Amino acid sequence: MKNIIVASTSTLFGGDYLEYLLEDLEELYKDVNDILFIPYARPDGISHDLYTEKVGIAFKRIGKSVKGIHEFKHPKEAIKNCHAIFVGGGNTFVLVNELQTNNLIEPIKTAISTGVPYLGTSAGSNICGISMQTTNDMPIVYPTSFDTLGLIPFNINPHYLDIDPKNKHMGESRETRIKEFHHFNNQTVIGLREGSFLRVNGDIIMLKGPHSARIFRPDKTPYELKTNHILKVSNERF
């Protein structure tokens, strides 16, 4: 049974890394002591070692130890033998390219399908969807495919920002970009605002956090999904 948190961000303004999620992470990882961290997305180009160290400090607060997948000689075996997974944020193109290069997409999907708990933040949440095509990131490398884990039957747009009518120019809005996406693609997109996350248990998804989420479907008017709303993945009811 899938046991997943899909979070828009790792850090809220003024807070520490993962601080706002710690209570929920205690519940997600309650049956494990060790977490396999995948640092491939490398925010700001941080090294795998330094990124893993940062994550380890956060998880120490809830009594969990962390080891980076880059520390293993055989990454596929690390996935096969792990008890929990965390994929951190950064650049989604870099993340997906590394996962594909190391042939880790299918092993991760298999692990999660057997109940291995998974946390994804930002880029790590992007890859939970059908594809990475609704990321906000620059294509600084080129993966062989945009297809991702498909753990949920829609796409994610993390860090979703609403249009600010007082601002004279901010370029294309997130809503505009998602409408452009729907000219060529049919999957639903959920805009996750900062501090919001999806809690997935089996075929049930609940939106958690202080904000509603913005739901986009092709040829439909976008609407809001209220926090603490439960939906069944099997029926894709929003």
211 a catalytic residue: no
137 a catalytic residue: yes
Handedness of CA 150, 77, 54, 60 (dihedral sign): positive
Annotated catalytic residue within 137, 182, 196, 211:
137
Q: Can you give the three-state secondary structure of the chain, one letter per residue?
A: CCEEEEECCCCCCCCCCCHHHHHHHHHHCCCCCEEEEECCCCHHHCCHHHHHHHHHHHHHCCCCEEEEHHHCCCHHHHHHHCCCEEECCCCHHHHHHHHHHCCCHHHHHHHHHCCCCEEEECHHHHCCCCECCCCCCCCCCCCCCCECCCCCCCEEECCCCCCCCCCCCCCCCHHHHHHHHCCCCCCCEEECCCCCEEEEECCEEEEECCCCEEEECCCCCCEEECCCCEEEHHHCCC
Strands 223-225 and 213-216, sheet pairing = antiparallel
122 a catalytic residue: yes
Annotated catalytic residue within 8, 10, 122, 131:
122
Residues in contact with 5: Cβ distance below 8 Å, sequence separation at least 6, in sequence order? 21, 24, 25, 28, 118, 119, 120, 197, 198, 199, 200
Annotated catalytic residue within 24, 159, 212, 229:
159
Catalytic residues: 122, 137, 159
